[in-house]
Chain A
């Protein structure tokens, strides 16, 4: 039995699944748009330097040499300082300190929600990248909310998850590295770090190391589906 185009067409139209947008998605989009409108109206975003109006043809080699000189200056003066600072305090120590401070004096989340469609748009306008946000309530790691941390001068999206009575902080910022989850221990806290070619992640918590690694694997599996 072979179908002609019209029969096939009719069959698809009649039987194939038509997916409908979940209500939570509609609500999330409306929230995000409301936030975007509120965020935009009173503070028109102004750049200190308008790259759009700058064309290479206008400035030619002068721009290139000035840029090169600036880059060289940065390399000569900033790098050694940054490296020394790096040696003084490893990143995981700093993140553990952020986690502890948030647990002590709060807020552990500035946006409290278990709905990823509320948490994800909350970051818009606060940071210049869109971190993936997942909820793993079914796997025992419910999403609790999110906040912004300042890590080494960067504004970093931080997601808070619960595991029974423990809190897990996930610090997310862009990176093009690919790193399999590795665990380290810092002042009794477990730190699991991984990167998936788009973002890098640092999960910090006092849950058992194996649990935190499992969380990282869940995350990786979910992110791979994107």
Chain B
């Protein structure tokens, strides 16, 4: 099997997962596309080294490294804080659920906007564990391998991330 066939069969099916992770980490369509494209080329080069291993966490690991390199290069300040209030306000304000929706759908999209905004405002390391755990349904060991940190760190990050999200969401529902 050529690299190209292997890539098509093993990697391409996980492109949505790759893009979702990159999009959440980098918070921009264009940056996410560039990161996934770059990561894909790396995956293409090394797809031969993937001997029977599950391709999805492997690919997500490459994507994640590419994204963090991009974030480091941009040296964006908000990485220092665990929760970025300004980013949160902006994300909440930018998304308008629309006026013509029926009430139920309105409530639903309001929930989506709030949850999205709360996740967006997490620092990249906390956002990463949330996306890998809740969207990709990976276990602690897989997440630890992808993020190159001990399992204990994954668990503590996950609980910090959940704490932040819980706080934010409960404050929002009080405000309604």
Contact = CB atoms under 8 A, between A and B. Distances in A.
B116 A17 contact: yes
A102 B117 CA distance: 47
Contact of B33 (A8, A25, A33, A222): A25
14 contacts: A1-B170, A1-B173, A8-B166, A9-B134, A12-B119, A15-B111, A16-B134, A18-B16, A19-B16, A19-B19, A25-B33, A25-B37, A26-B15, A222-B30
A125 B27 CA distance: 29
Contact of B37 (A17, A28, A222): A28
Nearest to B14: A21
B74 interface: yes
Interface in B2-20: 2-4, 7, 12, 15-16, 18-20
A226 B74 contact: yes
Contact of A226 (B70, B108, B173): B70
B60 to A, nearest CB: 13
Interface of A: 1-3, 5, 8-9, 11-13, 15-22, 25-26, 28-29, 32-34, 36-37, 117, 120-121, 124, 130, 132, 134, 198, 222, 224-226
B30 A134 contact: yes
B112 interface: yes
A20 B19 CA distance: 6
Given A5-B162, A16-B135, A33-B4, A225 B15 contact: no
A21 B15 contact: yes
B31 interface: yes
Contacts, number: 110
B24 interface: yes
Contacts of A5: 162
Given A12-B134, A13-B135, A25-B36, 16 more contacts: A1-B170, A15-B108, A18-B135, A19-B20, A19-B32, A21-B15, A22-B29, A28-B37, A32-B41, A36-B41, A37-B2, A37-B4, A134-B30, A222-B30, A225-B74, A226-B34
Contacts of B12: 26, 29
Contacts of A13: 134-135
B34 A12 contact: no
A16 B4 contact: no
Contacts of A15: 108, 111-112, 115
B44 A33 contact: yes
Contacts of A225: 28, 30-31, 74
Contacts of B108: 15
A125 to B, nearest CB: 11
A37 B3 contact: yes
A222 B28 CA distance: 10
Contact of B40 (A9, A11, A12, A29): A29
Contact of A12 (B2, B16, B130): B130
A21 B19 contact: yes
A51 to B, nearest CB: 18
Interface in B31-75: 31-34, 36-38, 40-41, 44, 70, 73-74
